[in-house]
Structure 1
Amino acid sequence: MWSSFEIKVEKLQQFAIGQRWLSDTETELGLGVLIDVDERSISILFPKSDETRVYARNNAPLSRIVFNVNDEVQDQEGHKWLVESIEDRHGVLRYNVLRTSSDGETERKALNETRIGAHIQLSKPLDRLLASQVDYKEWYDLRIEALQMQAQMHRSPLRGLIGARVGLIPHQLYIAHEVGQRFAPRVLLADEVGLGKTIEAGLIIHQQLKTGRAERILILVPDSLQYQWMIEMRRRFNLQFSLFDLTRTASIKEHDPDLNPFLTEQCIIASVDLMVDHDDLREQALEAGFDLLVVDEAHHLMWNEEEGGNDRYDLVEELAQQTPGVLLLTATPEQLGVESHFARLRLLDPQRFSSLERFLDEEEQYLQTAKIAEVLMSDEPLAAEHLTALQTLLGHSIEDVPEQRYRAIHELLDRHGTGRILFRNTREAIQGFPGRDCQPAALIAPENWSMDGKLREQMWPEEGQLDGSWMENDPRVPWLMEILRKELKHNKVLLIARSGPVVEALENVLRLHAGIRTAMFHEGMSLLERDQAAAYFAEESYGAQILLCSEIGSEGRNFQFASDLILFDLPANPDVLEQRIGRLDRIGQENRIQIHVPYLIGTAQERMFRWYNEALNIFSSISPTAQTLQENFIVDLKDCLLADLGQKFEDLLEEVNVQRQALEAELQAGRDRLLEYNSCRPVVAQKIVQALEDYDDNTMLPMFMKRFMSSTNIDFDEQSNGTVIIKPTDQMQVQGLTLDEDGMTATFYRDQAQIREDAQYLTLEHPFIESVMEMINTQSFGSTNVALLKSNALKQGSILIEVWFKVDVVGPRSLNLPSSLPRQLVRVLLSETGQDLSEKIDPVILRPYLHHLDGNSCRQVVKARRDVIEQRYSQALESAKEGLPVLKEQAKKYYSQKWQYEIDRLSYLKQFNPSIRQDEIDRLTKLQKEGVDLLEDISLTPSAIQVMVVVKP
């Protein structure tokens, strides 16, 4: 055991290849060796877990491991040596060590620190106690509670779901749980608009990162959605993605021409077009390599058998071929035809979907399966032909009873079709959407209004008058003031316009001339200012009546608590219009949406309104065909918008309306209810929701954190609205926490976090809480205590020794080995005479009888009872070790069975469902063996020690 070595925090020293370092944030990786260093970064190999980390040189979260004379060290072969002396050779230490063999022979040698074993055992609590470094009783209690919460978190099936700022929506949580726990998931998320595909993808990404299944992630999106994705990842999941555009990549190259920009960050969001238009960036992204590729708006990836794919498709295909995990997102999986739908499935699994003809044949057969499944899911009795067909499909007969019908549905789901890689929920299946109504406001155009010229000038003339002079004769301005003063006086109103200057001009008029409480939200504001504006709008009693947003207001924020939307202008793109409406028309909306649309009669504005309303029907409901129809008729539409073409425009509206209805009827007829059911199995989904509700109701985190902050001099101020303001202070007694100098507004409650987007949602998976837990886990905080135990049941003046050990197993995070341990903490409680009281006296029973002892008295107790403390500590260690063999076998058995169940299930289903990949089964088998081997090396790390002096009450 290595009992007294030093962990030196030498952030500014000269790094040298061969030095041994410990990760402050991932201690489970074991002892690392520095293998590469340059001006900006260092690379550390962690041999035990077979992982390499690259850190920025200036702020690497690492501590140098230095052993002292008389320390016991272990070499890579597992032999133990005693340090006699130490030499420093150009920054790398050489230990002169000795050991005595069983026959009494002494062996000496020089052991470079590069040859030290990767498994490290810490036993600092005893050293600190004997050196009279005694912590506060409260710190000791907090340490034990933190270790217990961490152990519980390791075992929790909710890991990766707890920390997201999302509502408990069953279908979203089901997909996230189903996909997020896979290794290298490759799926198509195809929920209808407004059902939360971005949230589902974010939950999957969050789980993959938290469980170590992925570390490098690339998100490819259209230009207009980059900012939305970055905000969603940050606000909802506390994930810091870097936005890569031409400016940023050029800046990196200018600084270092040889540096691959995609190796400078772990999590990246980039535009699809950026990669398509710049071959060098495309090649560098391929060279950098990622664990997970996410592609939004995947219906723009087009392909056919004759011509192949478009530029975007070819790009994604190249990346998908060398990226283990792939998520494709589209609201319209079959909108552009079955060929393009097949092509997207082909990106996910080119072996399974190698032939369009075979795919069409399977789809036809699958339709029969879906029809039988629909009967199973209904109340309709099963006819003889249904039972016969089911026997053919399942390989066994069933009876027409509820339990067997339910089981048959799940067998069909597992065996047939694309259910494992395609998830699609529909509004009709999910339900809970109140609907929306259009409230047009036809206004008379002023005499000087432009009726010809460029379309931009006709539609949005205000954008050409940045001084605000357009407001003097624009009838939309007095209309806006009037409707806010009267009809919408008591309502929360969201207004969206195309640009920031228009929003600023309107806000100025409403606030100064109409006396209306306003808030703004546009690209010229900082992130903090936007948060504050959103929070002011969310305030019920004294908040803003109206929030005025530029186009970014339709991206990345949801305001379901409002139900009135004013579209001050209309965008040119139906997808953008749907995004605007989608800020209110989402799950959680309790009222029908009222969409107020002012337009000037006889102008391009009116014709654009009629196009959206009469041809695409986009104000009344989501139109899955709108974007495609507009692209198909864009030439005729532009002609009609530029000038009043009378009957030609009327004919266009009628033609497109007929096509839209036909396409929607076709989509409805082709609804795959079996697929929808598979995308949200209600029983499973409800269990996940219930588990998260139980966590929310029973978590001890709020009380724990309040005690922690109070005892460490972190400033926190509880607000009446359920939030807390947390700030660092000069008197803080802990270091290394993820807490900005300016502090933060936060909440521990999910419902409050849903409303107050300016407040961070604190859970065990929030970076600040994780930093607290990591600090406790890796530093000496609260590891020693001496307390008074007031009791008449024990001998007065005697002492009890309580020692807590962590059960450690080093391995890749992705294996989550700690979750297989029956116990992650071992507590040993001994009397002064050595009687084991661990099972007889629970720590919860002791706590009310334990009281603080002043520092001087603590030192006297330790000095007087030093020999007894050392003896009982050695006894506690041996006692804890005795249970390791049984614990090890239990862990290996549990871990092996857990993986074997999934391996057997997938192997069986692969006989019927070719969408299950052999490489997935092979990977699970490999991980099973790897984990079982690593569980052989379970060990104990002393974590805390407490001496209790018995006195009379």
Structure 2
Amino acid sequence: MNVGDEVKSRLYQDKGIAIVIGFDEIFGEKHVELLFGDGSRITTKYDDIIQKKDTLTLLSEKQFENPLIFMVNNLLLKIEENLSEDKVVTSANFKIKPLPHQLLVTNFVINKLNPRCLIADEVGLGKTIEAALVYEELKLRGFINRTLIVVPSGLITQWHEELSNKFNEQFVIYSKEYVRALKQSYGEETNVWTLHDNIIASIDSVKPLKIHEKLSKEEKKRREWHNRHIYEDIGNADFDIVIIDEAHKLSKKEKGDETARYKVGKSLSERIPIMLLLTATPHQGDAGLFLNLLRLIDPFLFINEKSLIPEIINEVAVRNKKRAAVDFDGNRIFKDRITSIIEIKRNENKNRDEIELYNKVTEYTQTYYNIAKEEGNKAYILLVILYQRIVSSSSFAVLASLKRRLNFLENYNERVAEIQNHYNNEEFDEFEYSDEADSKILEIEPLNEKYLEVEKRFIKECIALAERVTRNFSDVKFEYLLETVNEICRREGKADLKFIIFTEFKATQEAIIKYLDKLGYSCALLHGGLSREERINQIEDFRENSQFLVSTDAGGEGINLQFCYCMINFDLPWNPARLEQRIGRIDRIGQEKDVRIFNFQLKGTVEDRVREILETKLELIKTQYGDDKYSDVLSLLEDEFSFDKIYVDAFNKLEALEKEINIKAEEIYNRANEILKNDELMLPFSNFEENAEDLLNNRLQFLVKQLVFDYLKYRKIDINKYKEYEDMYFFHNPFPQLKNLPNIFRKVAFKPDIAIENQKAEIINIKHPIINLIKNEIRRDSLGKVSALKVRINKFEGISGVWFVFKLNIGNNVKSKTFNISVFMEDDEFYNWRISRYLDENVIEKYEPLRKITSDYDFHKMYAKANEEADAKAEEIFISIKNEWMEGIEKYERKLFDYYQFKRNSITEVAISNIRESRLRSITKEKENQLLSLEKQKNIIPKIQLSQAAFLEFE
């Protein structure tokens, strides 16, 4: 027995296979130290050890196992080999249908020497899916365990839902409050970012806060705590991969200071080996900004603006065009979009109360926005904006919100000591309106005691007006809603045509549903307060039964509704990017019809005039560049200009409205034009040479299904097929001792198409717990190494011999590849290459135990010859892989030398000698570390061993 041998312990048989890591002898008694698969170390007596027999010994002694467990082990070997192929494996593993461009992007990233990439596809092409596929591929290959996703706060829910629903990945959302709660539980000095392996956080919640002399002691202490325990700790948490969405927000001018967001990107870039940046508008029309963004991906490649040429950019960036995207049959993926404006006109007599309500809220907004602005009260500014937004939605939204606000104000004096603002001024760039956020805004402190009574009086007057309007659904929009629905159904020739109706407010949503219900229509609903299960049920109800789905913006995040093509926007968000997000629920991959959008536009309002002026200019962008480019650039325009601010400022400058808004609209148009004109020059569209179909790994799910079926047969568990569902099964749980698994697995599918069609189907893929449990059992008990089988393959009828399965692993400190090499020996001389190749490329499905071996074989001689053949084939594979990897490593090495030469030349120009020498020492050390890392990658090691052997008799 030697160190490194695999053994078992009689006393600890339940712990499975152990590795010998040391020996000891005391008082004349020998002891052995063991390391088990669960990480535990145990020292036991020497005679307690059961030495594990190797495969050849088991074969020689004819200790044959059940052919079923042998084939299970063989399938696990084939799966391991399959996973190391340079193909996209995960496309068959989840409830998605990856498209050609998504597979090409995934393949591009995972086969890079350093999988760091800028994914810059146009909007709607599924950058989230592409990033998730890259993540899954790298995870399956064992390259990553810990993942950080950084996104704008408004996209957190969408990412969380997509990863959960489509990839069955559970991520923990880290907010500032959650970090503080973890600190209280685990201790102030604990880096709580290490407590979970999959984390999502918003970019603004983790960026560093400025510290300056004007801060109070308390505020300075709070910011120092934030910078240490959030900004610094997240960079020191040893993540393997970081994905940053809307990466253009990490902006840094070529000669300018780093923004707080850029500092986050730079810190993570320097500390996390794998990085994906996602954005549809990476360059923002500015070469300096683009250069600094690319430096986050690869600082060695992008030395200066001369590096911004297509050949170099294409090494680290991918970009696909939306309207050029096709499916595997060559059909264009995206349909056309037809948008109609429904002008909502109020009658001065019939809608008098509604008009008066609007005017009263607008008057309040004009007055108190300016007061809040002068006092620097950002929370109250948000409240005033909320008032103005709800009055353009519906009287129901006004009534619900103002009743809640009045209740808060009337109890304010009694609760003043315990009430605190929900937000502080430093955090307002994170704020986005939503159902939950609106509720908090309604509970902010009044401006002061004087304005408390003024606000209460204003609210009571508005409530009285709103109650009169809501009593009989007198909002003019409801009349237009019914007319619009009837007209569209008549035009489309479908009385039961499905519609999605969007609104910003839950109270308006409830009113729409109540109104349609009174008319006999069926409705499903979505809002931010529903659980994942409730959302799925509501979408299924809409798909199967209801004619209408009424949704808030929060409810519509991350959902796909391609089976519907008509959308009514009952109210319009001020930010056009939010409107594009709504439309994106149906104008997306999988939509089979031209989508029809109907926007309700309330005439005679300040908002309508502002929107009209802005959209006149924005429409020019659509005309010149198309809907897709327009969608690409919207988030940038919002960051630079703030549409909310443009609208609310308009209420306070009514006399100069036309002139001021026109100036702002011209600025927006010019900026958008500048960005989009530079688009193709700075970031060329990708032109992949590979055929996407060739990248598909369609074999994996077949292997997984066969593995599960063979294992269940081995365990004598029946596999039952549903009569009413195609290719769906149910069976008893083979691991009943585990409480987290059901007693019976129901509606099990192995094909993604089947699982996509039935939302409640459970797809068993390579990530499913059953697969890991089978794998662990095989390894723990060292099962399936040797067997004897009678195999039914007509073309090899009458041949018998031994099937040796060798496992070749090639790896360095970055990646590895696995190959199975089958060698079929008919005797100790004759190697049958035809059968060997067949066994490598196919799965034996028809077989039974072979009770007796009639021939007398010298298994050791057969093995010696088989080993020679396996070594020869392994050497060919090794040389090919090594040459391929070395080519990439040496190319990267040349890039490093160019980078450090440029850096050295720049430093020699520094006039102060001690600073110059210090920097030169620093980059010399940095260069040495980088070159050492590359030397480790050049250390490519092959390892080959015999994994299985079986006597086969063909009939």
State the secondary structure of the residue aligned to 1:294.
Answer: strand
Work out which of the residue numbers 525, 529, 535 in structure 1 matches 2:530.
525
- 1:751-785 superposed Cα distances (whole Å, 9 cap, x missing partner): 45555555455544666556555655665666666
| TM alignment of 1:481-492, pairs within 5 A | 481=482, 483-484=484-485, 487-488=488-489, 489-492=495-498
State the secondary structure of the residue aligned to 2:559.
Answer: coil
Q: Which moved more, 1:780-789 or 1:201-210?
A: 780-789
For 2:796 and 2:762, the matched residues in 1 are separated by 48
Cα drift, residue 741 of structure 1: 6.0
For 2:901 and 2:530, the matched residues in 1 are separated by 47
State the secondary structure of the residue aligned to 2:684.
Answer: helix
Is the CA contact (8 Å cut-off) linking 1:738 and 1:771 kept in structure 2? Answer: no
* Change beyond 3 A, Cα 1:426–1:912: farther
- In structure 2, give the amino acid aligned to 1:817: K
Q: Which moved more, 1:919-928 or 1:452-461?
A: 919-928
For 2:296 and 2:522, the matched residues in 1 are separated by 51
Is the CA contact (8 Å cut-off) linking 1:212 and 1:812 kept in structure 2? Answer: no
| TM alignment of 1:309-324, pairs within 5 A | 309-324=258-273
Is the CA contact (8 Å cut-off) linking 1:808 and 1:939 kept in structure 2? Answer: yes
| TM alignment of 1:667-816, pairs within 5 A | 667-672=675-680, 675-677=683-685, 679-681=686-688, 683-684=689-690, 687-692=691-696, 695=698, 699=702, 701-702=704-705, 705=708, 712=715, 713=717, 717-718=721-722, 720=724, 722=726, 724=728, 726=730, 728-729=732-733, 732=734, 743=745, 745=747, 747-752=749-754, 758-759=760-761, 762-764=764-766, 769=771, 772=774, 775-776=777-778, 802=802, 804-807=804-807, 809=809, 814-816=814-816
Equivalent residue, structure 1, for 2:569: 567
Work out which of the residue numbers 217, 235, 239 in structure 1 matches 2:165.
235
Work out which of the residue numbers 228, 233, 242 in structure 2 matches 1:293.
242
Cα drift, residue 261 of structure 1: 1.0
- In structure 2, give the amino acid aligned to 1:273: D
State the secondary structure of the residue aligned to 2:239.
Answer: coil
Work out which of the residue numbers 402, 413, 424 in structure 1 matches 2:319.
424
Equivalent residue, structure 1, for 2:297: 348
Equivalent residue, structure 2, for 1:893: 879
For 2:519 and 2:11, the matched residues in 1 are separated by 60
State the secondary structure of the residue aligned to 2:144.
Answer: coil
* Change beyond 3 A, Cα 1:224–1:95: same
- In structure 2, give the amino acid aligned to 1:423: V
- 1:74-103 superposed Cα distances (whole Å, 9 cap, x missing partner): 979xxxxxx996578997315549xxxxxx
Q: Does 1:253 align with 2:211?
A: no
* Change beyond 3 A, Cα 1:700–1:211: closer
Equivalent residue, structure 2, for 1:18: none
Q: TM-score normalized by structure 2?
A: 0.69
- 1:109-151 superposed Cα distances (whole Å, 9 cap, x missing partner): x99x9xx9xxx9864994999788x53x555445434433443
Equivalent residue, structure 2, for 1:267: 198
Is the CA contact (8 Å cut-off) linking 1:728 and 1:741 kept in structure 2? Answer: yes
Is the CA contact (8 Å cut-off) linking 1:162 and 1:765 kept in structure 2? Answer: no
| TM alignment of 1:305-384, pairs within 5 A | 307-335=256-284, 337-350=286-299, 353=302, 358-359=304-305, 366=309
Cα drift, residue 308 of structure 1: 0.6
For 1:846 and 1:465, the matched residues in 2 are separated by 68
Equivalent residue, structure 2, for 1:439: 340
Equivalent residue, structure 2, for 1:400: none
State the secondary structure of the residue aligned to 2:591.
Answer: coil
For 2:353 and 2:766, the matched residues in 1 are separated by 61
Cα drift, residue 447 of structure 1: 2.9
Is the CA contact (8 Å cut-off) linking 1:263 and 1:288 kept in structure 2? Answer: yes
Cα drift, residue 598 of structure 1: 2.3
State the secondary structure of the residue aligned to 1:890.
Answer: helix
State the secondary structure of the residue aligned to 1:434.
Answer: coil
* Change beyond 3 A, Cα 1:495–1:793: closer
* Change beyond 3 A, Cα 1:513–1:711: farther
Q: Which moved more, 1:278-287 or 1:303-312?
A: 303-312
Q: Does 1:448 align with 2:449?
A: no
Work out which of the residue numbers 927, 930, 945 in structure 1 matches 2:939.
930
Q: Which moved more, 1:431-440 or 1:699-708?
A: 699-708
* Change beyond 3 A, Cα 1:594–1:226: same
- 1:167-205 superposed Cα distances (whole Å, 9 cap, x missing partner): 443333222221222244333322222222222222222
Is the CA contact (8 Å cut-off) linking 1:437 and 1:593 kept in structure 2? Answer: yes
Cα drift, residue 581 of structure 1: 1.6
State the secondary structure of the residue aligned to 1:270.
Answer: strand
Cα drift, residue 879 of structure 1: 4.9
- In structure 2, give the amino acid aligned to 1:586: R
For 1:794 and 1:635, the matched residues in 2 are separated by 76
Q: Does 1:206 align with 2:202?
A: no
- 1:276-302 superposed Cα distances (whole Å, 9 cap, x missing partner): 352122222122222222222222223
Is the CA contact (8 Å cut-off) linking 1:607 and 1:641 kept in structure 2? Answer: no
Work out which of the residue numbers 594, 597, 619 in structure 1 matches 2:596.
594
For 1:555 and 1:744, the matched residues in 2 are separated by 29
* Change beyond 3 A, Cα 1:337–1:9: farther
For 2:282 and 2:843, the matched residues in 1 are separated by 61
Equivalent residue, structure 2, for 1:826: 822
For 1:784 and 1:735, the matched residues in 2 are separated by 28
Cα drift, residue 888 of structure 1: 4.6
Q: TM-score normalized by structure 1?
A: 0.69
* Change beyond 3 A, Cα 1:848–1:340: closer
* Change beyond 3 A, Cα 1:674–1:872: farther
For 2:321 and 2:794, the matched residues in 1 are separated by 67
* Change beyond 3 A, Cα 1:434–1:544: same
* Change beyond 3 A, Cα 1:876–1:768: same
* Change beyond 3 A, Cα 1:668–1:641: closer
Equivalent residue, structure 2, for 1:407: none
Specify which structure has the higher proportion of helix: 2
For 2:241 and 2:752, the matched residues in 1 are separated by 28
Identity among equivalent positions (%) equals: 22
- In structure 2, give the amino acid aligned to 1:271: S
- In structure 1, give the amino acid aligned to 2:296: L
* Change beyond 3 A, Cα 1:789–1:253: closer
- In structure 1, give the amino acid aligned to 2:523: T
* Change beyond 3 A, Cα 1:725–1:312: farther
State the secondary structure of the residue aligned to 2:353.
Answer: coil
Cα drift, residue 270 of structure 1: 0.9
Work out which of the residue numbers 71, 86, 107 in structure 2 matches 1:177.
107
For 1:644 and 1:696, the matched residues in 2 are separated by 66
| TM alignment of 1:399-418, pairs within 5 A | 414=311, 417-418=312-313
For 1:316 and 1:839, the matched residues in 2 are separated by 54
For 1:710 and 1:475, the matched residues in 2 are separated by 67
* Change beyond 3 A, Cα 1:64–1:632: same
Cα drift, residue 420 of structure 1: 1.9
State the secondary structure of the residue aligned to 1:5.
Answer: strand
Is the CA contact (8 Å cut-off) linking 1:496 and 1:551 kept in structure 2? Answer: yes
Equivalent residue, structure 2, for 1:638: 647
Equivalent residue, structure 1, for 2:583: 581
For 2:53 and 2:510, the matched residues in 1 are separated by 61
* Change beyond 3 A, Cα 1:755–1:791: closer
Equivalent residue, structure 2, for 1:497: 503
* Change beyond 3 A, Cα 1:710–1:300: same
Equivalent residue, structure 2, for 1:31: none
- 1:839-888 superposed Cα distances (whole Å, 9 cap, x missing partner): 586787997885468xxxx6xx69xx9xx99x766565555444454345
